């Protein structure tokens, strides 16, 4: 995991897909054990949303590459 500081002073965590999966799984387990933890629920929602967006983006990118290759034949 890497942290990047934006010009505005915010920090962004950059993670490998495997790291995101581990964090999402750990948060899900925590929330199941403590469903009243508002911060854990909010963080899980954010991580899951970011992971879903990444997955959609990767799928679109793979489809784009596949179309480019099929048109080149």
Q: Indicate the range of 18-22, 25-29, 32-36 predicted with least confidence.
A: 18-22
Sign of CA dihedral 2, 4, 10, 15: negative
pLDDT of 47 reads 81
72 or 37, which is more confident: 37
pLDDT of 64 reads 65
pLDDT of 72 reads 59
């Amino acid at each position: 995991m890497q942290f990047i500081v934006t010009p505005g002073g915010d920090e962004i965590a950059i993670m490998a897909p495997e790291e995101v999966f581990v964090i999402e799984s750990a948060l899900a387990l925590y929330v199941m054990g403590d469903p009243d933890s508002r911060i854990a629920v909010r963080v899980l929602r954010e991580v899951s949303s970011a992971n879903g967006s990444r997955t959609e983006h990767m799928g679109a990118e793979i489809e784009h590459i596949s179309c480019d290759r099929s048109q080149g034949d």
